[in-house]
Amino acid sequence: MIIKQSWIDYINSLQNNICAALEQTDGKAKFIEDAWIREEGGGGKTRVIQNGNVFEKAGVNTSLVYGKVTDLMRSQLSISGDSWFACGLSLVIHPLNPFIPTVHCNYRMFELYNEDGEVTDRWFGGGTDLTPYYLFEEDAKHFHQTYKNVCDEFDESFYSTFKKECDNYFVNTHRNNERRGIGGIFYDHQRPNEKYNADFWMSFGKACGDAFIRSYIPIVEKRKSIAYAEKEKHWQEIRRGRYTEFNLLHDKGTVFGLKTNGRTESILMSLPPTVRFEYNYQPEAGSEEDKLVQVCLHPGEWVD
Amino acid sequence: MIIKQSWIDYINSLQNNICAALEQTDGKAKFIEDAWIREEGGGGKTRVIQNGNVFEKAGVNTSLVYGKVTDLMRSQLSISGDSWFACGLSLVIHPLNPFIPTVHCNYRMFELYNEDGEVTDRWFGGGTDLTPYYLFEEDAKHFHQTYKNVCDEFDESFYSTFKKECDNYFVNTHRNNERRGIGGIFYDHQRPNEKYNADFWMSFGKACGDAFIRSYIPIVEKRKSIAYAEKEKHWQEIRRGRYTEFNLLHDKGTVFGLKTNGRTESILMSLPPTVRFEYNYQPEAGSEEDKLVQVCLHPGEWVD
């Protein structure tokens, strides 16, 4: 109970902090909030910016949802038990300028209960990953190094494990296993075990969540004033098409949300504001656009 | 064997006829063809127009694919037997002008064989459906009446049955069961039975395929010169977002293609050329845009 409440409080404050940092960087846009209630239990706070100076579309959402385990959840999500609870923050930021990467993060906890309401299972999951349209190696390094530093404070094996999990998760399997972007970290189903208790995993989640602002905002600041033309915007919209394909075809979070009767507009705020799907579009070999594709096909190592 | 070959020949000639009719109506664009080979057996001819006078993106694809039934097909597509064969035509047309509807059609046959290569199962499926951005009742009536006339030649119960199947198939369940458009006809798994043999179902498929040009081209001709502004294009792109959601989240044909290692670019040519995803976009109540949404939420009857 203490862990659950501590996590809920953290998620709410993280939402406030991240929204404040994004508003400051944008300089114009203010988040609007839609608080929503889920009929079967719980709800969330969806905060969205559209058409900012810097952020074309950004959503920073929290949700706290619970209910009885349904047959659909048993068969399609492999969830057992009598009832369940989930609380987390999920954000997706789509900048206007194609030289600024898109970023996604999600940190969550999950609990299952038996008929007496006792906790029978509890796990943490999360991650943050970067989706550039043009590759700046120093940005990739900064982003990965930030999360490596956090990981190393907890366990020196974490970064390489969770970096690999990220590379293996955000994959468009229908496009020769091209990754959505250049990754970051991703972990799921981290349960208390003989080495690390629930408190440890919660602290790890909080430390990752706290790293978001310093992992991403410096990149935005560095790139937000670079001039771009039609050509770069076009390429961004093509890549946003790949982002859309991943989220709708492969992302488990999207499917979980839609199958558990989450709020559709909050779940699909992740989709990019403008998108192009062109038949068989191929960037010129050796171009900056192609360089990005290559690094998505063959994930690199960004830290020493 | 005769049925199979007759169907293959028909599909190829249908592709030629439809492409010729679309080129004539467009007046500028010519289809480019990509013939592709599927490693496990078969292949296809993908024909695409991009940036025409009238058609912003259009694909008219045929495929003839076959292979051993895989474990993936058994578990996820409920297909049994030793080997399989499928041949069909699939088209999606996205016009530039938001007053012209998008249209989709697909006509296909499927066979299953035992280890001795004997046909153990055979069925036909198909349909054509219309996705307008603005509702012209006379267009909806013309489109539905065309297919009702075809259906009535075969069985007077078909139109109402297949119209309902269409309304029940192209549904964005995650958006309050909003339909993708105003429907048309849809049928699947039509096997030879005591009433109708395989020849009958093949002839029905051919008659529906032949009706495509006269169901759609007159609508294009009527609407292609209407002037439109930013506002109508914006709305078209919002609705194309819904189209994208349906195809990637719900469409069985897309999933079948991707799971059977079809050619990704040919399968995803169905996605619209430019798309917008705006958070919680709602047209004004009573507007022309809202009128379209209402008819997608509550499918109408278009023929007497």
- Chain B nearest C-alpha distance from A137 (Å): 30
Give tens-digit pLDDT for A93-114. Answer: 999 999 999 999 999 999 999 9
Round to whole Å and give the CA distance between A174 and A166: 17
**Cβ pair B127, B151 in contact under 8 A:** no
**Option in B34, B265, B277 nearest A271 (CB):** B277
* Interatomic CA distance for residues B218 and B143, integer angstroms: 9
pLDDT digits (tens, 9 = 90+) for A156-209: 999 999 999 999 999 999 999 999 999 999 999 999 999 999 999 999 999 999
Nearest to B248 among A248, A273, A276 (CB): A248
B278 CB-near residues (< 8 Å, 6+ apart): A50, A57, A273, B238
pLDDT of B75 over the 90 cut: no
Give the end-to-end CA distance of chain A in Å, rounded to a whole number. Answer: 40
- How many Cβ contacts (< 8 angstroms) between chains A and B? 72
Within chain B, what is the greatest distance between any pair of CA atoms?
A: 62
Predicted confidence (pLDDT) per residue in B261-299, tens digit: 789 999 999 999 999 999 999 999 999 999 999 999 999
Q: What is the ipTM of this complex?
A: 0.94
Any A CB within 8 A of B213 CB: no
DSSP string, B143-197: HHHHHHHHHHHH-TTHHHHHHHHHHHHSEEGGGTTEESSSEEEEEEEE---SS--
Residues A275-289, mean pLDDT to the nearest whole number = 97
- How far does the CA of residue B134 sit from the closest CA of chain A (Å)? 21
Cα–Cα distance for residue pair B157/B204, rounded to 1 Å = 13
CA A50/CA B67 separation, integer angstroms? 48
Partner-chain residue, chosen from B48, B175, B274, that has the shortest CB–CB distance to A279: B48
Hey, what are B154's tokens?
């075969």
pLDDT score for A18: 98
Say which amino acid occupies B227: A
Q: What are B215-246's pLDDT values in tens digits?
A: 999 999 999 999 999 999 999 999 999 999 99
Place of tokens 């309401």: A117
Number of other residues whose CB lies within 10 A of the CB of residue B96: 19
- State the pTM of this model: 0.95
Does the distance separating the beta carbons of B241 and A271 come in below 8 Å? yes
Ordered structural domains, chain B, with CATH: 2-270+283-297 (3.40.1500.10)
